[in-house]
């Protein structure tokens, strides 16, 4: 049981309802659904329910997430590799459930998903292996000069900026999921 109630759309104030509509009707809800965004009562799953507690901040946070997921330059596979590494490090069940499904849709195999659970870059090549190593280094706290050079060569400086933003964003979500005791 979570620490906050499931916030149903009809009970939200106007700001909360506007944020709900932006999440439930935005890019996350468009196209193929690889995981359920809402519960049968209409409340939002995962980190999105808590965002409704403070719509001004929640809106900014969900806008950042939408930018990372839908307007970034990382390939779908690279993005999902990094997200799943954050989910693993933070032991975030919801992020793992949601993004393993998205990762499969992006072409990640069961062997690759298992390797990510071990933080193992060995099954990946090229840019994807560099993303694994850079993400693990970021989760450890920094990119040393060697890790920076590899990541910058594979992704460019803008790609490293995007990757570090992604890692920070999904770590924030994992923390919030833990604090609010949000399960799958």
> pLDDT by residue (tens digit) across 82-104?
999 999 999 999 999 999 999 99
Give the whole-angstrom CA distance, residue 184 versus residue 152: 35
Is there a single domain that holds both residue 42 and residue 91?
no
Return the number of other C-beta atoms located less than 10 Å from residue 82's C-beta.
Answer: 28
Statement to judge: residues 81 and 57 lie in one domain: no
What are the tokens at 24?
A: 């439930």
Name the least confident of 15-19, 33-37, 162-166, 172-176.
33-37
Flag whether 184 is in a domain.
no
* Percent of the chain clearing pLDDT 70 (strictly above): 97
Average pLDDT, the chain: 94
What does the pLDDT look like over 61-81, one tens digit per residue? Answer: 999 999 998 899 999 999 999
pLDDT of residue 36: 83
What is the dihedral sign for C-alpha 24, 28, 33, 37?
A: negative
CB distance 163 to 73 below 8 Å: no
Q: How does pLDDT run across 107-155, given as a tens digit for each residue?
A: 999 999 999 999 999 999 999 999 999 999 999 999 999 999 999 999 9
Residues 24 and 85 grouped into a single domain: no
The DSSP 8-state label assigned to residue 6 in this structure reads: -
Count of domains for the chain: 2
The whole-number pLDDT of residue 183 equals 72
Whether residues 80 and 162 fall in one domain = yes
Q: Do 51 and 140 belong together in one domain?
A: no
Structure tokens given for 175: 């923390």
In a domain, 92, yes or no: yes
The verdict on residue 4 lying in a domain is no
Q: Does 128 fall in a domain? A: yes
Supply the pLDDT for residue 33: 73
- In-domain check, residue 110: yes
Q: Are residues 50 and 134 in the same domain?
A: no
CATH number, domain of 82, equals 1.20.1290.10
Domain with 87 in it: 76-179
Q: Identify the band that residue 28 occupies on the pLDDT scale cut at 50, 70 and 90.
A: low
Task: Please indicate, yes or no, if residue 23 is contained in any of the structural domains.
Answer: yes
- pLDDT grade, residue 1 (50/70/90)? low
């Amino acid at each position: 049981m979570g620490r906050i109630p499931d916030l149903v759309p009809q009970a939200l104030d106007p700001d909360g309802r506007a944020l709900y509509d932006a999440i439930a009707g935005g890019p996350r809800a468009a196209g193929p659904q690889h995981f359920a965004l809402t519960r049968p009562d209409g409340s939002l799953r995962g980190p999105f329910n808590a965002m409704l507690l403070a719509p001004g901040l929640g809106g900014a946070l969900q806008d950042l997430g939408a930018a990372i997921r839908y307007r970034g330059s990382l390939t779908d596979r690279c993005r999902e590799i990094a997200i799943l590494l954050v989910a693993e490090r933070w032991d975030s069940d919801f992020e793992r459930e949601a993004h393993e499904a998205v990762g499969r849709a992006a072409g990640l195999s069961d062997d690759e998903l298992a390797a990510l659970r071990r933080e193992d870059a060995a099954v990946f090549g090229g840019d994807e292996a560099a993303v694994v190593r850079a993400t693990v280094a970021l989760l450890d706290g920094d990119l040393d000069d060697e890790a920076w050079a590899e990541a910058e060569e594979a992704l460019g400086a803008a790609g490293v900026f995007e990757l570090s933003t992604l890692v920070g964003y999904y770590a924030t979500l994992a923390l919030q999921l833990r604090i609010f005791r949000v399960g799958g």
